[in-house]
Structure 1
Amino acid sequence: MKISPAEIAAALKKIDNGVNAPTDEQILVISSPLEPAVVVAGAGSGKTETMSARVLWLVINGYVKPDQILGLTFTRKAAGELAIRIRTRLRQLMNSDLVSPELAKEIENNLDVTVLTYHSYAARVLSEHAIRIGIDADATPIGEAAAWQIASDAVNNFESLSAPLISAPSTVIDDVMLLSKLIAEHGCSVADVRIEMERIISALTALPGKDTKEIRDIYQAFKERSAILPIVARIDEHRKSRGLLTFDDQMSLAAELSQLFPDIGVSERAKFKVVLLDEYQDTSQSQLTLLSNLFGFDKTTGAAIATGHPVTAVGDPFQSIYGWRGASADTLDSFPAYFPGVSPRYSLSSSWRNDHVILDLANNVISYINDRTRLRDQKRVEVAELKARANAGLGELACGVFETKSLEAQGIAEYFEKLWFDPKRAAKLEKDRSSFAVLVRNRKQIPDIESALRTLRIPVEVVGVGGLVHVPEVADVIATLKVLAFPDKGSALMRLLTGPRFAIGAKDIAALGEFSRKRAASEKRDSRALVKLIEAGNPSSAENDDIFMGSIVDALDEIESAESTAFSKEGYARLVRAAREFRTLRSRVGTSITDLIIDIERAQHLDVEVLVRDGVAHGRRHLDRFLDEAAKYQRTGGSLSQFLNWLEAATSEEGGLKSGSVDVRRDVVQILTIHGAKGAEWDVVAVPGLAKGQFPVEGKRVDNWLKDEGQIPFSLRGDADQLPKFRIENVMDMKGAKAERIRFDDECKDKHLDEEFRLGYVAFTRAKTHLLCTTSWWRDGEKPVPPSALLEQVLTIANANPKAAKFLTDISEHPLDENNPNLAKPKSEIWPRDPLGDMRTIFNESVSQVVSAKSFERAQLVGEISKLPSEPASWARDAIALLDEIARSRNPQVVFLPQRLSVSTLLTLQSDPSEL
């Protein structure tokens, strides 16, 4: 007699009170037959617990042993959590009254359920069989930074372009990397891409009529793609011949092996009787190919496995947000094509995460997306309406439409302030306190929001490389690195000179500019002489440091040769100090990148400043994370200038360069992109920037192979059936070609817009109890920007739930100004800025308290300290120790000199006594 999921849960609850009875939907999944199946799991529906319960049910009922189960997911964190959950439940099961001593012993000997990431599993298959295709798979795969470095070197050193490139080098590098990835991902070749482009070009040029801009744009995109395809071929050959495989290379090669050698599938099916695939909607084409070849089809016969191997795919099509990485929202719908069999479809729709009003919003977005896809007659897997857990609260849905972006950031900070400093929250242990996050669509929103939170004394963590570069202390380090590496980075120098460290005023900046112009004019005359020397065939008489043009960075380096009377006395002294500091740091450029960053921190006292600002616990957080990223890049062997270029790429990349899943913290407000937030949850979440055209994003980010040089022809992709088709064969003339191009573009835009709404769904469902959605009328342009369709969804639910809604502004109120106040009335500040900024008032109050404090004799002070609680007493003792140290440093030190001194020692004594 089979033991039911409910009986297993009841037995485990006696051991662990945190175990809940499974819902009816979960019972169907847990006890489903051994056959291919799809589980459509909504956000927060408990899929991890359901998968672990499925393993228990299979093991206790004797279907499989634990070591015959394979679980795959996307991140190491998720794989670790699932493995721990399964092993914990198995150990608890061993101690329950359901398990016989014999079975308990058998479970104990087979606790190791194999739970891996998709890439780790591909690497395992590749390592066991790579020799069969002559690949060295023993080396550790290179990271994205190293892959970018290889592409950068190839682009900058490639000399055989078939046509001049219009795009900037950084864009070409991105296109080369994407083409390389997609060609490997979809199992095609550079030649295949070229042949398909030639087919389209031949068809277009054969059409009667005059070509239009739409058609000329196709020609230009194809011309650029053709020019960079040889670079793609070169870097692919370079990487594979040297064993420098990326994770994507490993996946595509493993898929190729599974296709070529049927015995690999036979072996894997014998090893793993049951397969669980997590986050299935995010799987790419090469992952699907690998898994289908191993567990969907018997490649020895080419036919589907007769009974269907027990593969359970769990996913949510509305959380498919990685289309730009090769995933598709239609993956769940196409499951039977990859894993033939009965393939029943189950649902998990009870949310264990979100309160009622947040679920109402999620369901509203789901309904909106379903309506959009139905209008286009597209058949998609539909997620059942999410249902709240039994003890779910009402929740709070807050929204606001502010005048400007800065006021929007301030509104978010003030909303968080009340919840963050709530006495009830403060009274709890840190592990029990509510967590907070701001999820942005565009990283440019981060600085304003971070600054607003810091102003209210709320600790902040910016997550991800792309966001990290906007943090003030990291931005200062990067600006310094640019000044050291590039003599033309005047804007970076201005950030440092006008910042709080040097605080150079307008008059002195103008004087420095004038000195730079005079110097450049002089150098221009010198350069003409240099050119004449070269033309005369006598370049050896030119000085090594002759240059054709000057720069403000070089001008600062020679500031001591300038007329000091052109500057203020203090300004000139600061500029000289800055020049000497940069000169000293420039002498360290030959060291490692990480050592140089540490030198910059010390020279600018950033390590001290951040500790003063944020305290010992949080102060160095961002600097340390930046050092970690620099260390990772350093291992690629790249130079300082290449590191800075890589940072530019990390900042501009659509969803950020790949990174691990975020660790949710309760001691800081975390700011990160929505892409980076997937898989995590917080109690309080803010989603800013819900403006038309900005979220959902419209325009240039749309995947369209007819105009995006980094895309391969859609017809070559494994998911071609799910993508728009350019039907050139149905076109009779150029007028028809133009109409077909416009239709194709519109389909691409619609597909992109679907993903943007799914991104909104992901953002909203990260919140457990409080969700704040905001925008502002005035963004960066000259015209007001109305709220987006996503915010309209929020307002619909807020208006329908007045008890759960909170309006931070009058939503119906349109901007009174006809012009952008940020442009018409730019914000004015005193320059140089006050180094303390908004903290000046608090600082002055603290100084006043110190100045007016009662003085004590030392013995009396020690007595007063003894009356204080332990923590303030500790602070007081530290203060006394610091005061004693300062006093000792001010007292003259007696140095006993030897009877005899060498000449060099006497010279050192005169020039720098501290050295002795």
Structure 2
Amino acid sequence: MSDSRTGSTVVDVELVSPEQVAAALGLPRPTEEQAAVIAAPAEPALVVAGAGAGKTETMAARVVWLVANGLVTPDRVLGLTFTRKAARQLSDRVRARLRRLAGSGLLDRLEYQDGAGGDALAAVLATEPTVLTYHAYAARLVGEHGLRLPVEPGALLLTETASWQLAHRVVSSWTEDLDTDRVPATVTGYLLRLAGELAEHLVDPDRLAEHAKRLQDAIESAPRAPRQRADLPVALREIIDTQRLRVALLPLLAEYVHRKRKDGALDFGDQMALAARLATEHPEVAEGERDRYGAVLLDEYQDTGHAQRVLLRALFGTGRPLPVTAVGDPAQAIYGWRGASAANLPRFTTDFPAADGRPAARYGLLTSFRNPPEVLAVANALSGPLRAAGVAVEELRARPDAGAGDVRCALFADVRAELDWLADTVAARWRSPSAVSGGPPTAAVLVRRRADMAAVASALRGRGLPVEVVGLGGLVDEPEVRDLISALRVLVDPLAGTAAARLLMGARWRLGAADIAALWRRAGELAGSGRTTAPDDPLAAIADSVPGEHTEQAGLVEALDDPGDKSNYSAEGWRRIRRLGGELAALRRRLDQPLTELVADVERTLLLDIETMTRPGRVGRAHLDAFADVVADYAEVSPAATLSSLVDYLSMAEQAERGLEPGEVEVAEDRVQVLTVHAAKGLEWEIVAVPHLVREVFPGRRKSSSWLASVTELPVELRGDAMDLPELNLVGAANRKEVERALEIHAEEFEERRLIEERRLCYVALTRAERVLLVSGHWWGETGGRPRGPSTFLEEIRLAVTGEDAATGVATPVGVIDHWEPPPGPDESNPLTAATRSARWPVDPLGTRREAVAEGAAMVVSALSAWTEGTPAGSGPAGPVPSRATPSGLSPTEFDDDPQGWAADVEVLLAERQAARDRRERVVLPDQLTVSQLVELAADPDALANRLRRPLPFQPNSTARRGTAFHAWLERRFGATRLFELDELPGAADDSASDDADLQRL
């Protein structure tokens, strides 16, 4: 029996079954489906694995079975997946199973005839499989073989953020006419997406320019139809304009590529494209990879793109066949918008044929270990049209011992009623202890649009639930983050009137209407617009000054710096305007700080840290901390990044529907998470709510769903998956009218494909639920004059919940219809826009809590006053409390002007320093001491104690360096665990550390 390694064979032994391996390792017995995959012949195989079907466990078991039967050693296994989290999970699971295998005794029966394989047990203990992301594997290939292209092997990899920064610099410094009214942030997004598409489909930019010219010529040269005007129809002009703008981006793209090469950098798209070139243009690279690996696992294969398909097929689909196992689910192919090709999954069987040329074998994992039967009944009903096309897939079924699920469906008159129902239902179930953990169950609300996150989060918080909005796309709409971003904009953009108005009318300053109108008049004076009188209605002045062109002309930010005559404002309004202006001026003086420090200063200045600390639970600062992580990541990529570029970066995240989705999302047990369906893929919660399944929302409506109207999409004939896409044929078009009709049909075919992907997206949302599934919709939205009503998806779900069988008339319900609002009459109007709503303005940020908060504040003020007047501190039950009396040398007025408490902090710090000088404390020795520490303990115990309390770098010492070099030599000689690198030693970077001539001799 061959072990898949050249020249090594194993003495023939009877293969152990997957069931025997599981029993020996103390693991649950695999199902028949899993056993068939685990023990599949050592040849290419396609595994269609449904949602929650245990594919990770099955892949790990497949590796262990191959090793247990001597078919491969661990170091000859390659596993590829998409995220670091998935790679880590698969790697950890395989390693854990192999450790069990090593102690099971199953390997004792294996013996290599020629000894080339060595001892099987030693191989398992000494080696481990390679599990990487697809991009990490491509990076490794480029690093090892890049000189063949040639590409520098040590090229810097640009993260998504670093790529955006570089592209933004290209766009911002572009001096030639681009003939577009898009802002730099938007053009930057266009540039990056177009660059990614070209790399994904391995297309040269010149081919794109040539295609655009051919299409433009075909449209403009088509003769007019009878009675058709001489001018091109608007639809045709728009198509030509799109192609022109796409071509106009190519010079910027060339500059972007030039700067990457100049910096010795690559982005993710470059990496994959270069790896594909290596595999196709250099057969020796593919041969080397086939010699290196004896088994390959490809996870989430339905999400691979064209470049990845080319790479993998060239490496492992040609030459000597390998046991390549691809795992995927055609119903979860939801990433077409970022280059994934759903057709890769069905094409795997022919891309990776068996040794005799027949298509690869197919297997299925269709038992869900996640979803209860009720949830699966709904999901299967929705995925019916998907299973009928592409890869034929049977329905998912629940495991035999699955518990009962709770499925509820509802349709309401308007979106507010829907959110009330959703929040009430989630709150009731979230407050019921989880059967799994005993605490609150995991819960998530999955939305189709980022714009819906804020309203959902607000409704949940209104029920007292801790809420986390996941992802920067939704994070920017959280109130505290929005305030923070508004302040950042005001600091760098004097025309950021909307941001300034938000601060002025927000929870902290709450400026009144008359003062807003006066400030607006002052803005007009400073701008020299000639308009120095505000509208009669102060609220009209507010509406006039916030959005639109007047904001740019008026300069509300400048009015904050120079509000004019004090008499134009109320006394309190003047004080607040001056305070805010002073704070902003102080922050502008700190613009040279690192971004992370500046943003932290703004947060503290706005008192957002204190405001969020008042929230109950552990998630008070969650969104501010998440935003701080975003800023830190942005600044880490480019320490010289400016606040202006950060603000533009955030603008892109706000404008993009998919925003900047989180790379990896973790399920939280102590809060309700709100995130997009795209970000939820691969995760699961006990409670899942999917709101807004209404027309034009879910499925959504995209204006630019094809390359004819989207600047960042490639024409069909240039794409690597062109054979699976609608074909545009203008050959038979005799005139402009026929050309226009052919283009319309082509766009409609793309719309049909988009709806299929929307259905897959909804299927993914439904199958995240472990126990409770809530699905809902509404008739009337917050805006709009036409009712929305249930989408096709919600109608199908309602039928599945009621269990109605059209053929027999028998109903077998799998859930509950909580409410189903009948459609509004033809003469009815939107009640949310027609009704007059009244509210107190400015809005009281405390709302119903004001009385309780005021009472608590009064108690604190009273206590502080008592301490100030000499009442002994520490008499309360909380123990000693430091006095907050006015610091010596400061008058009460001066102390009031020190809201941050700097003066008091100075006195406290001085007192702490004095106390530290007067105090001697015991230092506990660690359990282990180095030889150097033992010597110091005998010579100078106080010095050792100080060093243990506050470790500091040692003075460079040649003797210590020789000892470290000797340890490094031992490590290299015997393969020991890594100790320290020389440049990691204390003092190694000091200029005074001279070269040690004895190192080489040693």
Report deviation, 1:695: 0.7
Listed one character per residue, the Cα deviations across residues 136-187 of structure 1 (whole Å, up to 9, x for unaligned) are 24244111122122222222332334x6225444333222212211111111
Please say if residues 798 and 804 of structure 1, whose CA atoms lie closer than 8 Å, have aligned partners that are also in contact: yes
- What residue is the counterpart of 1:557 in the other structure? 561
Task: Check if 1:489 corresponds to 2:486.
Answer: no
Aligned equivalents of 1:767, 1:277: Cα separation in 2:
26
- What residue is the counterpart of 1:592 in the other structure? 594
1:833 to 830, 836, 843: 843
Aligned equivalents of 1:575, 1:166: Cα separation in 2:
35
- What residue is the counterpart of 1:131 in the other structure? 147
Please say if residues 320 and 329 of structure 1, whose CA atoms lie closer than 8 Å, have aligned partners that are also in contact: yes
Report deviation, 1:828: 2.6
1:151 to 139, 151, 167: 167
Please say if residues 81 and 132 of structure 2, whose CA atoms lie closer than 8 Å, have aligned partners that are also in contact: yes
- The 3-state SS of whatever aligns with 2:776 is strand
State percent identity of aligned pairs: 40
- What residue is the counterpart of 2:57 in the other structure? 49
2:400 to 383, 390, 405: 390
Task: Mark the CA change 1:325 to 1:667 in structure 2 (over 3 Å): closer, same or farther.
Answer: same
Please say if residues 357 and 797 of structure 1, whose CA atoms lie closer than 8 Å, have aligned partners that are also in contact: no
- The 3-state SS of whatever aligns with 1:28 is helix
2:368 to 347, 351, 354: 351
TM-score normalized by structure 1? 0.86
Please give the residue correspondences for 1:81-230 in structure 2 after superposition, counting only pairs within 5 Å.
81-100=89-108, 105-161=121-177, 164-210=179-225, 211-230=232-251
- The 3-state SS of whatever aligns with 1:332 is helix
- The 3-state SS of whatever aligns with 1:618 is coil
Listed one character per residue, the Cα deviations across residues 711-765 of structure 1 (whole Å, up to 9, x for unaligned) are 2221111111011111112323222212211110110100111101100001111
Task: Check if 1:280 corresponds to 2:284.
Answer: no
Letter of the aligned partner of 2:599 in structure 1?
I
- The 3-state SS of whatever aligns with 1:358 is helix
Please say if residues 212 and 244 of structure 2, whose CA atoms lie closer than 8 Å, have aligned partners that are also in contact: no
2:817 to 794, 797, 807: 807
Task: Check if 1:323 corresponds to 2:336.
Answer: yes
Letter of the aligned partner of 2:881 in structure 1?
D
Report deviation, 1:20: 2.5
Report deviation, 1:488: 0.9
Listed one character per residue, the Cα deviations across residues 476-524 of structure 1 (whole Å, up to 9, x for unaligned) are 1101001111111111111111111111111221221122223333899
- What residue is the counterpart of 2:996 in the other structure? none
Moved more, 216-225 or 752-761: 216-225
Please say if residues 94 and 107 of structure 1, whose CA atoms lie closer than 8 Å, have aligned partners that are also in contact: no
- What residue is the counterpart of 1:620 in the other structure? 621
Letter of the aligned partner of 2:345 in structure 1?
L
Please give the residue correspondences for 1:571-582 in structure 2 after superposition, counting only pairs within 5 Å.
571-582=573-584
Please say if residues 350 and 360 of structure 2, whose CA atoms lie closer than 8 Å, have aligned partners that are also in contact: no
Please say if residues 410 and 819 of structure 2, whose CA atoms lie closer than 8 Å, have aligned partners that are also in contact: yes
Listed one character per residue, the Cα deviations across residues 270-321 of structure 1 (whole Å, up to 9, x for unaligned) are 1111100000000111111111111112xxxxxxx25x22211100011111
Aligned equivalents of 1:689, 1:882: Cα separation in 2:
52
- What residue is the counterpart of 1:411 in the other structure? 421
Can you give the 5+ residue segments of structure 1 that lack an aligned partner in the other structure? 14-18, 298-304, 374-379, 526-547, 854-875, 897-907
Report deviation, 1:231: 1.3
Aligned equivalents of 2:740, 2:779: Cα separation in 1:
36
Task: Mark the CA change 1:852 to 1:234 in structure 2 (over 3 Å): closer, same or farther.
Answer: closer
- The 3-state SS of whatever aligns with 2:731 is helix
- The 3-state SS of whatever aligns with 2:699 is coil
Task: Mark the CA change 1:913 to 1:632 in structure 2 (over 3 Å): closer, same or farther.
Answer: closer
Please say if residues 470 and 662 of structure 2, whose CA atoms lie closer than 8 Å, have aligned partners that are also in contact: no
Task: Check if 1:777 corresponds to 2:779.
Answer: yes
Task: Mark the CA change 1:99 to 1:814 in structure 2 (over 3 Å): closer, same or farther.
Answer: farther
Please say if residues 54 and 368 of structure 2, whose CA atoms lie closer than 8 Å, have aligned partners that are also in contact: yes
Please say if residues 612 and 619 of structure 1, whose CA atoms lie closer than 8 Å, have aligned partners that are also in contact: yes
- What residue is the counterpart of 1:764 in the other structure? 766
Task: Check if 1:511 corresponds to 2:518.
Answer: yes
- What residue is the counterpart of 2:983 in the other structure? none
Identify, as 1 or 2, the structure richer in helix: 1
Letter of the aligned partner of 1:482 in structure 2?
R
Report deviation, 1:403: 3.1
Moved more, 212-221 or 753-762: 212-221
Report deviation, 1:112: 1.1
Aligned equivalents of 2:283, 2:688: Cα separation in 1:
49
Listed one character per residue, the Cα deviations across residues 27-74 of structure 1 (whole Å, up to 9, x for unaligned) are 111111111111111111110011011111111111100110100000
1:235 to 256, 267, 276: 256
Aligned equivalents of 1:294, 1:673: Cα separation in 2:
35
Moved more, 243-252 or 804-813: 804-813
Aligned equivalents of 2:424, 2:827: Cα separation in 1:
24
Listed one character per residue, the Cα deviations across residues 359-397 of structure 1 (whole Å, up to 9, x for unaligned) are 0111111113345x5xxxxxx102210010111122111
Aligned residue pairs, count: 830
Task: Mark the CA change 1:21 to 1:593 in structure 2 (over 3 Å): closer, same or farther.
Answer: same
Please say if residues 730 and 742 of structure 2, whose CA atoms lie closer than 8 Å, have aligned partners that are also in contact: yes
- What residue is the counterpart of 1:336 in the other structure? 349
- The 3-state SS of whatever aligns with 1:334 is helix
Please say if residues 661 and 679 of structure 1, whose CA atoms lie closer than 8 Å, have aligned partners that are also in contact: no
Please give the residue correspondences for 1:261-660 in structure 2 after superposition, counting only pairs within 5 Å.
261-297=282-318, 305=319, 308-341=321-354, 342-370=359-387, 373=389, 380-422=390-432, 424-425=433-434, 428-430=437-439, 433-521=440-528, 550-559=554-563, 562-615=564-617, 617-634=618-635, 635-636=637-638, 637-657=640-660, 659-660=662-663
Task: Mark the CA change 1:334 to 1:580 in structure 2 (over 3 Å): closer, same or farther.
Answer: same
TM-score normalized by structure 2? 0.79
1:676 to 676, 679, 693: 679
Aligned equivalents of 2:436, 2:403: Cα separation in 1:
21
Task: Mark the CA change 1:894 to 1:246 in structure 2 (over 3 Å): closer, same or farther.
Answer: closer
Aligned equivalents of 2:765, 2:495: Cα separation in 1:
40
Task: Mark the CA change 1:852 to 1:363 in structure 2 (over 3 Å): closer, same or farther.
Answer: farther
Report deviation, 1:595: 1.1
Aligned equivalents of 1:632, 1:311: Cα separation in 2:
37
Task: Mark the CA change 1:689 to 1:219 in structure 2 (over 3 Å): closer, same or farther.
Answer: same
Task: Check if 1:258 corresponds to 2:279.
Answer: yes
Aligned equivalents of 2:826, 2:739: Cα separation in 1:
46
Can you give the 5+ residue segments of structure 2 that lack an aligned partner in the other structure? 1-13, 111-118, 226-231, 533-551, 804-810, 864-872, 891-897, 908-1002
Aligned equivalents of 1:396, 1:618: Cα separation in 2:
28
Please say if residues 800 and 814 of structure 2, whose CA atoms lie closer than 8 Å, have aligned partners that are also in contact: no
Please say if residues 524 and 553 of structure 2, whose CA atoms lie closer than 8 Å, have aligned partners that are also in contact: no
Task: Mark the CA change 1:320 to 1:838 in structure 2 (over 3 Å): closer, same or farther.
Answer: farther
Aligned equivalents of 2:669, 2:512: Cα separation in 1:
41
- What residue is the counterpart of 2:670 in the other structure? 667
Please say if residues 472 and 661 of structure 2, whose CA atoms lie closer than 8 Å, have aligned partners that are also in contact: no
Report deviation, 1:91: 1.1
Letter of the aligned partner of 2:82 in structure 1?
F
Listed one character per residue, the Cα deviations across residues 401-439 of structure 1 (whole Å, up to 9, x for unaligned) are 2333333222221111111112x3499555xx5210111
Aligned equivalents of 1:894, 1:575: Cα separation in 2:
30
Report deviation, 1:454: 1.5
- The 3-state SS of whatever aligns with 1:333 is helix
Aligned equivalents of 2:876, 2:583: Cα separation in 1:
31
Task: Mark the CA change 1:570 to 1:638 in structure 2 (over 3 Å): closer, same or farther.
Answer: same
Aligned equivalents of 1:230, 1:196: Cα separation in 2:
16
- The 3-state SS of whatever aligns with 1:100 is helix
Please give the residue correspondences for 1:825-864 in structure 2 after superposition, counting only pairs within 5 Å.
825-837=835-847, 839-840=849-850, 843=853
- The 3-state SS of whatever aligns with 1:613 is coil
